[in-house]
């Protein structure tokens, strides 16, 4: 409600407070409140260009074993995107893309997950073979 009213600073403080409070409580309601607050923080940070802060919130969601599969998939996909396009860490991006795909088995997002993984594999292969041919340090590795 505060966010829709344009009171973003107060909304952010409320989200952060909800994460803190829910973290010290037990039960399904506390877990749900924490997840929703973290998700709202991640989305707000992303909209405001604070991608590292958004990634921290997504990571907390992705690593919480009590989160719904739908929200975990959203977090894993957001982390794959973050590491591919923002942090430029293709290995981490691939790791999160794999986790996202594993969470998507039997869902409609499988094609999108496979596409992301294939693109990351192409980028990683291109990194090993640059414009001058294969990286000589990679040829020496077992």
> With the C-alpha atoms ordered 83, 85, 86, 88, is the resulting torsion angle positive or negative?
positive
**Residues whose CB is less than 8 angstroms from the CB of residue 120 and which lie 6 or more positions away in sequence, other chains included:** 80, 84, 90, 93, 94, 97
Integer Cα distance of 50 and 21 in angstroms: 23
Tell me what pLDDT residue 98 has.
Answer: 95
**Average pLDDT score over residue span 89-98:** 97
Mean pLDDT of 91-104: 93
Reply yes or no on whether the pLDDT at 137 is more than 80: no
Give the global pTM: 0.83
Q: Identify the weakest region by mean pLDDT among 26-30, 71-75, 138-142.
A: 138-142
Cβ-based neighbours of 31, under 8 Å, separated by 6 or more: 22, 64, 66, 67
Span 112-138, mean pLDDT?
78
């Amino acid at each position: 409600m505060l966010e829709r009213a344009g009171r973003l600073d107060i909304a952010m403080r409320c989200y952060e407070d909800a994460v803190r409070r829910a973290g010290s409580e037990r039960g399904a309601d506390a877990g749900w409140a924490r997840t929703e607050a973290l998700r709202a923080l991640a989305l707000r940070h992303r909209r405001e260009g604070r991608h590292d802060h958004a990634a921290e919130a997504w990571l907390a969601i992705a690593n919480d074993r009590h989160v719904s599969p739908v929200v975990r998939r959203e977090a894993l996909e957001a982390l794959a995107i973050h590491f591919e396009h923002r942090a430029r860490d293709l290995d981490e991006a691939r790791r999160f893309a794999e986790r996202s795909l594993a969470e998507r088995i039997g869902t409609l997002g499988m094609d999108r997950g496979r596409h992301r993984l294939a693109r990351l594999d192409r980028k990683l292969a291109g990194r090993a073979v640059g414009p001058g041919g294969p990286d000589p340090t990679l040829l020496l590795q077992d």
